[in-house]
Amino acid sequence: MRLIGQSALFLAAAAAASCSKHRSPVQTKPDAAPMAAVSPGGTAKPAFASVSAGDDHTRDAKTDSAVVASTEIDVNVSLRGLAFTSVSAGAAHTCGVKTDGTVACWGDNEHGQARPPRGKFTSVSAGGGHTCGVKTDKTIACWGYKKDWNGKPLGQAKPPAGTFSSVSAGGDHTCGVRTNGRVACWGNNEYGKATPPTGAFTSVSASDDHTCGVRTDRTVVCWGNNHGQSKTPPGTFASVSGGADACSLRTDGSIACWGGVVTTPAGRFTSVSAGGGYACGVMTNGAVACWGSDSYGEAMPPSDTLASVSAGMNHWCGVRTNGNIACWGTWGNNDDGQQPPPAGPFASVSAGMNHSCGVKADGTVACWGDNECFQSAAPEGTFSAVSAGGGLTCGVMTNGSIACWGTCVDGGEVTPPAGKFTSVSAGGGHACGVRTSGSVACWGDNRDLNGKLVGQAKPPTGTFSSVSAGHWHTCGKKKDGTVACWGANKDSDGKLVGQAKPPAGTFSSVSAGDIHTCGVRTNGRIACWGDNKYGKATPPTGVFASVTAGDEYTCALNRDRVLYCWGKFWTAP
């Protein structure tokens, strides 16, 4: 996530970015670069020209014109080889101005917000479900949603006539600074957020429920819903960013934040962008510092090399090369304790729905996170492998038998069959394992969410080398390298998506997610099938060593152990 994910996977594409000024999660395509180090109040290895913070994600522009994104991801366009002058992260989409002046967008396009018009632009701003940009003739063009989420016309994507020097798209309203310095706003005027004060301004930043601007005398003023954002600090400022909270860059290079994010790091900055409860800024040495809420990992991605990675429902865990575990992203505010993980060293880790388990170097299993169903209450003994599912966990003991624990499941998942196994995989409500003979045995729930018999626990005959249990379907790699899948082939609404219909060819591994599946082909390329919402089944190019499919996202390690992720990690990972 950097990013890619709530972790940190750096995506290369291009730019010297602008700022997104409202709350939202992000979208990115990991076609480009690897994970880099960014920590709250700390520094990043690459140098950046600017940073753009969404609600639960961050997007940066490196000095070499590479775009970096953090946290959630949703990708419908490849950014490889594109060079940008600015970038803006919206609610679930991102847009950037390329060096030729045209605009490229990627991510959620439900309302056309990621489908920019033709023409040359000087800047672009991605909002909630709409996008606006300043064209080279200084007029404004907007595209995307023009209503509120109940379908009421608002007009946030219907700009007024005239010439502008800048524009900022908020959640459901937009504001721009005219060339005469006056601010004009359009769209939803709830809380008076689209009713700017009189006077001349140099910049404006529209958020969800409020707006802030820098006057020509360098003071800051905010209007709209006052959760503390409108109580601006004294002093002179170069720029302002009104996220869920508000932060501003003082003329001396220091940062001032008010609203929810009030503790800021020391040092001198060149830009700042406020997101949903956190903020990020580019320091004068080109490093990125983030501070504030890290509930979803948006402010602290892991920074080192991983030996393996496992995607849970809404959090990830990976084994570092030193044997310690890194986990990032949570469902909500880490209420189930998915992080921090226990001290290592570990040989492997498996992230489940709201809990994780790992095999330690001594063969014992440690689990952490949600334990409502005792799925984190690992038994004594030594194990060669462990798999965390929904309300259950299963592991292969060193004697080859299977042990399962967890009680919030139907169908008897906690009573595995007798015999010797080489591997096991726990799904949403069922589990499957590969016997030493190569046959697959499954146990547990054999129905979908609606109670319909779909057969995820009824494996085909044949000889397998591995198996992966998803939510309501299962896939396995046969000894000949081909993949076989069984179980649900539709989503919960009955729509055919094809998660249990693998492509032809030979694979080295396969991973079944919620309603999509991905596998690494024997040539190292990744193939995905099933639901492609948020681009989770559209893998990047390149040669990979492993892949893991989650709920609405997918992650993979290339052969250099660099982490790539794509799709959307809800409002967390």
Q: What is the pLDDT of residue 238?
A: 92
- Tokens 């046969």 correspond to 478
What's the mean pLDDT in 167-189?
A: 95
With vertex at residue 481, the alpha carbon angle to CA 480 and CA 482, rounded to the nearest 5 degrees, is 95
pLDDT in tens, 408-453: 765 444 688 999 999 999 988 889 999 999 999 999 888 877 788 8
pLDDT at position 43, please?
29
**Contact partners, residue 234, CB within 8 Å, separation at least 6:** none
Question: First CA to last CA across the chain, in angstroms?
Answer: 8
Report whether pLDDT(464) > 90: yes
Higher pLDDT, 44 or 421: 421
Helix (H, G, I), strand (E, B) or coil at 192: helix
Assign 3-class secondary structure to 43-101: CCCCCEEEEEECCCCEEEEECCCCEEECECCCCCCCCCCCCEEEEEECCCEEEEEECCC
pLDDT at 364 over 60: yes
| Most confident segment among 112-116, 302-306, 331-335, 373-377 | 112-116
Query: Does the pLDDT of residue 40 top 50, yes or no?
Result: no
Tokens of 365: 């299993």
Q: What are 280's two structure tokens?
A: 């990020």
Closest CA to 92 of 29, 30, 25: 25
Whether the CB-CB separation of 529 and 536 falls below 8 Å is answered with no
CB 366 within 8 A of CB 378: yes
Question: Which residue, among 109, 142, 123, has the nearest Cα to 18 in the 3D structure?
Answer: 123
pLDDT of residue 569: 53
Q: How confident is the model at residue 309 (pLDDT cuts 50, 70, 90)?
A: confident
Answer yes or no: are the C-beta atoms of 114 and 76 closer than 8 Å: yes
Q: Check whether 194 has a pLDDT greater than 90.
A: yes
Name the residue with higher pLDDT: 245 or 201: 201
pLDDT at 44 over 90: no
Chain centre distance of CA 368 = 22
In this prediction, residue 74 carries a pLDDT of 36
Of 90-104, 314-328, 353-367, minimum mean pLDDT range: 314-328
CA atoms within 13 A on the CB side of 508: 13
Helices (H), 283-418: none
In the chain, % of residues over pLDDT 70: 75
Are 497 and 489 within 8 A, CB to CB? yes
Quote the pTM value: 0.55
Q: What average pLDDT does the structure give for the chain? A: 78
542: amino acid identity, one letter? G
Residue 332: other Cβ atoms inside 10 A: 14
Tens digits of residue pLDDT in 211-232: 999 999 999 999 988 654 556 7
Whether 39 shows a pLDDT value over 80: the answer reads: no
Q: What confidence tens digit (pLDDT) does each residue in 121-157 have? A: 999 999 989 999 999 999 999 999 888 777 788 888 8
Q: Provide mean pLDDT across the span 511-540.
A: 93
319 pLDDT band, cuts 50/70/90, is confident
Number of Cβ within a 10 Å radius of residue 295: 20
Please say if the pLDDT value at position 77 is more than 90: no
What distance in Å separates the CA atoms of residue 367 and residue 369, rounded to the nearest whole number?
Answer: 7
Looking at residue 13, its pLDDT comes to 25
pLDDT surpasses 50 at 36: no
Confidence of residue 21 (pLDDT cuts 50, 70, 90): very low
Are 393 and 375 in contact, with CB atoms under 8 Å apart? yes
| Whether the predicted pLDDT of 71 surpasses 50 | no
Please give the domain boundaries of the chain with CATH numbers for all domains: 48-292 (2.130.10.30), 306-567 (2.130.10.30)
* Cβ-proximal residues to 193 (8 Å cutoff; 6+ apart), any chain: 170, 173, 185, 206, 207, 209, 210, 211, 223, 224, 225
Q: Residue 191: helix, strand or coil by DSSP?
A: helix
Instruction: Give the pLDDT score at 329.
Output: 64
Q: pLDDT digits over 245-291, tens only?
A: 688 899 999 988 887 655 677 788 888 887 666 677 778 877 667 77
**Strand order across the 316-320 sheet:** 306-311, 316-320, 325-328
Return the pLDDT at 262.
58
Looking at the DSSP bridge assignments, the partners of residue 555 are 548, 565
pLDDT at residue number 570: 42
pLDDT given at position 33? 29
